[in-house]
Amino acid sequence: RDNHWVTLKSIKDEYEARTGRTCKPPPQATRRKNFEFEPLSTTALILEDRPSNLPAKSIEEALRHRQEYDEMVAEAKKREIKEAHKRKRIMKERFKQEENIASAMVIWINEILPNWEGMRTTRRVRELWWQGLPPSVRGKVWSLAIGNELNITHELYEIFLSRAKERWKSFSETNSENDIEDAGVSVADREASLELIKLDISRTFPSFYIFQKGGPYHDLLHSVLGAYTCYRPDVGYVQGMSFIAAVLILNLEEADAFIAFANLLNKPCQLAFFRVDHSMMLKYFAAFEVFFEENLPRLFLHFKSYSLTPDIYLIDWIFTLYSKSLPLDLACRVWDVFCRDGEEFLFRTGLGILRLYEDILLQLDFIHIAQFLTKLPEDITSEKLFSCIAAVQMQNSNKKWAQVFASLMKDNKEGDKNHSPALKS
């Protein structure tokens, strides 16, 4: 480097000697004058003196600026301390939650699951269940709680999956509707098994890449839904099923997810909704309104004043078992207790949501209530919701949910008899 600079100097001297011109160094970048330092932040500008061409600050002004600066620094420190305490509290709560999950997991694996039939209904297990299932045992507990009354085997799933794949292949190769009908498949079946399923899969948890085309669970979800369509052609595919199947796939192996899916949809409440049995659906809505009026009389009357019926918001909640309406982790906790308590808990959860947002809903009109309940706030937390659910009393005039629903069914049957043409004649 020294030789380099020496060479440059000698070239410069030789140039000046020959031409008689002087090499001037390039002008330095202009800098602000009268500043001893560059301010580190915009807040520090308040402490700087004015340039020499402007009147100097008075002592009072300088003191005021110093005070303002000190106040800004103090406020910033206060915010930092507050945020640090908040982060510390969140970490502490998360650590405590992880400890609880770890200890609960040991109890579930070592004590409860090996003695499932004898322990599932005990008070201790039910209380532990209410706290939410550890993710590592969630799928196993769901499978046991849902059961397999349909006696579906892994082999049976493979049979219906093969049938679904054959249909998809034949549909893609067939160009006319007549050819499809000749093959013993209706156009409605084609639309259900192909177009609607494919369309719905892309809409299922759209923020999760795993269910989108090219994602690891896309084909898996397609397979489970297609196999079910072949297994229950009387039900077929109905929008909303994809969310239920997706949640099961996230927690169970493929064949086990199908078994749980088929048995879950065979429950009376799910069967009524997915087969669009209007008579049964109205009974569920009527039972819900009995407990709605009991628990939230003011909100009940507010809804009544706008003729806002439960079907406007409940259908979407029940169809997807809240997996579309709530954050996924919170929806899974709802599923945990749903598997413990059955259909009653689905409607109890609905009342818990209404209770949580009662003050807001009382201020809204029909349109805004419908919009609010169709798209719930994203910041809904497990603790707040479950405290509201716990406050809901599922008892009316000493009658529980099952008794109220049975009474409505009985009244319906007696009404049908009274209106029977045979009795009139």
CATH of the domain at 224: 1.10.472.80
**pLDDT value of position 21:** 65
**Mean confidence (pLDDT) of the chain:** 83
Into how many domains does the chain fold? Answer: 2
Specify the DSSP class assigned to residue 51: P
Answer yes or no: is 263 within a domain. yes
**pLDDT value of position 22:** 64
Same domain, 165 and 304: yes
Answer yes or no: is 84 within a domain. yes
Answer yes or no: is 98 within a domain. yes
Q: Give the end of a domain, one of 73, 96, 131.
A: 131
Q: Is the pLDDT of residue 419 over 50?
A: no
Same domain, 72 and 192: no
Q: How confident is the model at residue 1 (pLDDT cuts 50, 70, 90)?
A: very low
Q: Give the end of a domain, one of 78, 98, 131.
A: 131
The set of residues, in sequence order, having a beta carbon less than 8 Å from that of 39 and lying 6+ positions away, is 45, 48
Same domain, 388 and 256: yes
Q: Which residues pair with 395 in a beta bridge?
A: 400
Answer yes or no: is 25 within a domain. no
Same domain, 118 and 160: no
Say what percent of the chain tops pLDDT 90: 53
**pLDDT value of position 2:** 52
Same domain, 295 and 178: yes
Q: Is the pLDDT of residue 69 over 60?
A: yes
Same domain, 241 and 289: yes
Q: Is the pLDDT of residue 36 over 70?
A: no
Per-residue tokens: 416: 């049908």
Q: How confident is the model at residue 105 (pLDDT cuts 50, 70, 90)?
A: very high
User: Which helix (DSSP H) or strand (DSSP E) does residue 396 occupy?
Assistant: strand 395-396
Q: What is the pLDDT of residues 339-390, one digit of tens each?
A: 999 999 999 999 999 999 999 999 999 999 999 999 999 889 999 999 999 9
Q: How confident is the model at residue 397 (pLDDT cuts 50, 70, 90)?
A: confident
Same domain, 317 and 276: yes
User: Which helix (DSSP H) or strand (DSSP E) does residue 395 occupy?
Assistant: strand 395-396
**pLDDT value of position 173:** 66
Answer yes or no: is 337 within a domain. yes
Q: Is the pLDDT of residue 294 over 60?
A: yes
Answer yes or no: is 237 within a domain. yes
Decide: residue 152, CB within 10 A, 0-12 exposed, 13-18 middle, 19+ buried: buried
Answer yes or no: is 358 within a domain. yes
Same domain, 291 and 181: yes
CA distance 243 to 319: 9
CA distance 396 to 403: 10
Averaged pLDDT, 156-161: 95
In three-state secondary structure terms, 414 is helix
**pLDDT value of position 197:** 84
Sign of CA dihedral 239, 259, 321, 132: negative
Per-residue tokens: 266: 């065979």
Which range marks the domain in which residue 386 is found? 154-411
CA distance 142 to 257: 10
Q: Give the end of a domain, one of 99, 131, 163.
A: 131
Same domain, 118 and 224: no
Answer yes or no: is 140 within a domain. no
Q: How confident is the model at residue 166 (pLDDT cuts 50, 70, 90)?
A: confident
Pick from 216, 238, 234, 230: nearest CA to 258: 230
CA distance 175 to 163: 20
Same domain, 251 and 348: yes
**CA separation (Å) from 120 to 100, 127, 128?**
19, 11, 10
User: Which helix (DSSP H) or strand (DSSP E) does residue 353 occupy?
Assistant: helix 343-356
Instruction: Count Cα atoms within 13 angstroms, Cβ side, for 391.
Output: 14
Same domain, 290 and 332: yes
Same domain, 210 and 98: no
